[in-house]
Amino acid sequence: MDKEGKLEEEILASASLVKDKRGNIRISSRDLDDIQAKAAEEAIPYQTLMASVLHKYVTGRLVEPQTSPTRRSTRTPRIKPRSAG
């Protein structure tokens, strides 16, 4: 099954699950921006993507890709220089 077919199957499966609870989380704006961009690439709502990732995690089906790290994880944090004052 190709990537698009698999994603469609996952979306249909997740849509069939009863969603009877609501949860609020706080995440960084950078992570939310990345999630929204990834969801846009897949042409799905970002909330659906987040729910799918969480569902895969709690059911033990979330696997890390065997590729190089993401661009953000290899980035060195910016440190503001101290003012001389």
- Please list the pLDDT of the chain residue by residue as tens digits (85 residues): 677 777 777 776 766 667 788 899 999 999 999 999 999 999 999 999 999 999 899 989 888 888 766 656 555 555 666 666 5
Domain ranges for the chain: 26-60
Looking at residue 66, its pLDDT comes to 82
* Cα distances (angstroms) measured from residue 15 to each of 6, 41, 72: 14, 19, 30
d(CA 66, CA 57): 17
